[in-house]
């Protein structure tokens, strides 16, 4: 690009971030003319740092930001939480709530996150109660969808989907995969085990049990349980699995590793 503009810079910074190249994102950010830097630029570079575990760099950039919007706060809190800096993240959340009107659209995601934490901690009944209350209220949450292609045809799945004509085969394959994961030490989260990407992966194995590569696209961020499970599936089945989620592209290799290095 002969004369990069705001969109060009933001796109490149974001692309580096999506592919785990946080340092390159930061380098390009500091090369930008200051007059071109806007909210979108800040979010892209902070998100890139978040997905590469660059906490110190994130905090350094955050201190220079003069426009502290809801989206910028959300991104920095996300980075701190991923790096297990929960106290610092909590302080920023409290600071935001003191200085801003509560952002109601954030609460459905927070509620689901709380339920997932309870589920991961073994409090299944508590997690189920929280989700039941959420679903019975007027609060809306985006439905998780996953798409995959087999035999040149696109298939769409949603969480706990049983609408497919061959759903009994998919269920059997999911149970087979679950047993393999358990044999390899994976501790299942019962609340999350029916997520759409797992169903899409199982469908690929139903169609082609010996496939060496699977590609899945989903509209939400992959959860921790699905990420851990997919790494194991790729290793057990010796099948590369590529999942493009709302945040980045995950390439799960046959050695049980992911291209994101577990920053997602």
Q: pLDDT tens, 3-38?
A: 778 888 999 999 888 877 889 999 999 999 989 999
Is the pTM higher than 0.85? The answer reads no
- Which of 71-85, 107-121, 152-166 is predicted most confidently? 152-166
Q: Which residues have a Cβ under 8 Å from the Cβ of 62 and sit 6 or more positions away?
A: 46, 72, 76
Confidence label for 78 from pLDDT (cuts 50, 70 and 90): confident
Residue 165 pLDDT exceeds 60: yes
* Residue-wise DSSP of 166-178: THHHHHHHHHHHH
Angle, helices 86-99/70-82, rounded to nearest 10 degrees: 170
6-102 to CATH, choices 3.90.1720, 1.25.40, 1.10.10, 3.10.100: 1.25.40
pLDDT attached to residue 110: 59
Q: pLDDT tens, 135-144?
A: 665 555 678 8
Q: Give the domain ranges of the chain.
A: 6-102, 106-136, 145-252
Tell me what the mean pLDDT of segment 62-76 comes to: 85
Residue 180 pLDDT exceeds 60: yes
């Amino acid at each position: 690009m002969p004369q990069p503009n705001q969109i060009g810079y933001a796109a490149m910074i974001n692309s580096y971030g999506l592919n785990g190249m946080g340092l390159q994102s930061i380098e390009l950010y500091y090369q930008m003319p200051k007059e071109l830097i806007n909210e979108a630029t800040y979010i892209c570079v902070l998100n890139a740092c978040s997905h590469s575990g660059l906490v110190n760099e994130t905090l350094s950039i955050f201190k220079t930001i003069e426009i502290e919007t809801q989206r910028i706060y959300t991104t920095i809190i996300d980075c701190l939480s991923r790096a297990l800096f929960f106290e610092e993240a909590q302080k920023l959340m409290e600071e935001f709530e003191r200085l801003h009107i509560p952002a109601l659209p954030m609460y459905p995601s927070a509620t689901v996150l709380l339920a997932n934490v309870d589920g991961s901690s073994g409090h299944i009944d508590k997690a189920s109660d929280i989700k039941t209350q959420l679903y019975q209220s007027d609060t809306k949450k985006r439905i998780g969808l996953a798409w995959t292609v087999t035999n040149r045809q696109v298939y769409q799945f949603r969480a706990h989907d049983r609408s497919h004509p061959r759903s009994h085969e998919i269920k059997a394959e999911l149970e087979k995969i679950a047993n393999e994961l358990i044999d390899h030490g994976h501790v299942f989260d019962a609340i999350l085990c029916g997520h759409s990407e797992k169903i899409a992966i199982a469908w690929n194995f139903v169609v082609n049990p010996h496939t060496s590569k699977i590609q899945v696209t989903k509209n939400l961020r992959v959860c921790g349980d699905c990420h851990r499970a997919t790494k194991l599936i790729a290793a057990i089945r010796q099948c590369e699995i590529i999942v493009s989620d709302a945040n980045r592209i995950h390439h799960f290799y046959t050695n049980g590793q992911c291209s994101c290095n577990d920053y997602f």
